[in-house]
Amino acid sequence: MTLKLILIAALASCSSVAASGIPYRIELSPTGSKSVFVTVSIPQGATARRLSHNGRVDPALALMKWGPLDPTRVHAISFLLEGGSGNLTVTSSPVENAAVTTIPVREDTDNDGVPDDFEQQHQLHIGNDDSAEDPDGDGFTNRDEAFLGTDPNRADDVLKVSSSEYSIADEAFIFHLPAKFASIPLIVETSPTLDNALWRSVDAEMEIIGDEAIFEVKGGLANTRQFFRVRPDLTEEE
């Protein structure tokens, strides 16, 4: 069995959630039939905070562990890393099939939570904190865009629900998003009103079909109106 590791973009925060550190997102595509365990070791002097499910952090050992992971689907690990330099080492087990990958810690020269490589790629400014700016006016800051893997200079490259419907057969609200957002921890929230909205999170099941990530929220229609929104989930796991 081999384990394919893909490091996708990374980065920072949702405007409504304070988060510090450089975000990382690692995609895991186990192949074979056995469940897989994954360990990420963190460079000395760094601390990690988990964002994604299914993992635990052992600060004494500077390790993060995930598993068992179902080998039949893709998993995404998201975390924020503060401090330290060197490499992240990603190891999978069982031992006889171990795969080891090293990922260099991303530099953030101006310490604004947006890594240098993203700033260079998108003509942002290393040397001054432009993380809260929104040059394309799409409502997402440069930090948000780096986290989401969207272009900070293109308003049409943005986290957005492309379509939605209510399925009477499934008794569920269905939301369609581009599949590229499937590996980002997202949270679905609902409110009965948009004036003085009271957003609360709801359980949503996600599956990827073709080029779409489809979220399904059970229930609804019993009462009157319900509003929904989807946003990056940067809450730390307990």
Q: What's the CA gap between 156 and 212, in Å, rounded? A: 17
Q: How many other C-beta atoms lie within 10 A of the C-beta of residue 173?
A: 22
Piece in contact with Ca ion (CB under 5 A), picked from 73-81, 94-102, 157-165, 220-228: 157-165
Site for Ca ion, residues 96 to 115, rule: CB under 5 A: 108, 110, 112, 114
Q: What's the CA gap between 142 and 124, in Å, rounded? A: 8
Which residue, 123 or 224, is less far from Ca ion as judged by CB? 123
Is 130 a binding residue for Ca ion by CB under 5 A? The answer is no
Figure out which of the listed residues 41, 92, 136, 177 binds Ca ion, where binding follows CB under 5 A.
Answer: 136
Which residue, 144 or 233, is less far from Ca ion as judged by CB? 144
Figure out which of the listed residues 82, 117, 133, 134 binds Ca ion, where binding follows CB under 5 A.
Answer: 134
Figure out which of the listed residues 24, 79, 140, 175 binds Ca ion, where binding follows CB under 5 A.
Answer: 140
Piece in contact with Ca ion (CB under 5 A), picked from 56-64, 89-97, 145-153, 214-222: 145-153
Count, residues near Ca ion per rule CB under 5 A? 11
Binding mask 10-39 for Ca ion (x = CB under 5 A): ------------------------------
Piece in contact with Ca ion (CB under 5 A), picked from 7-15, 19-27, 85-93, 139-147: 139-147
Residue 110 C-beta: closest distance to Ca ion, Å: 4
Figure out which of the listed residues 28, 50, 157, 204 binds Ca ion, where binding follows CB under 5 A.
Answer: 157
Residue 124 C-beta: closest distance to Ca ion, Å: 8
Asked if 184 and 76 count as a contact pair (C-beta separation under 8 A), the reply is: yes
Residues that bind Ca ion (CB under 5 A): 108, 110, 112, 114, 134, 136, 138, 140, 150, 157-158
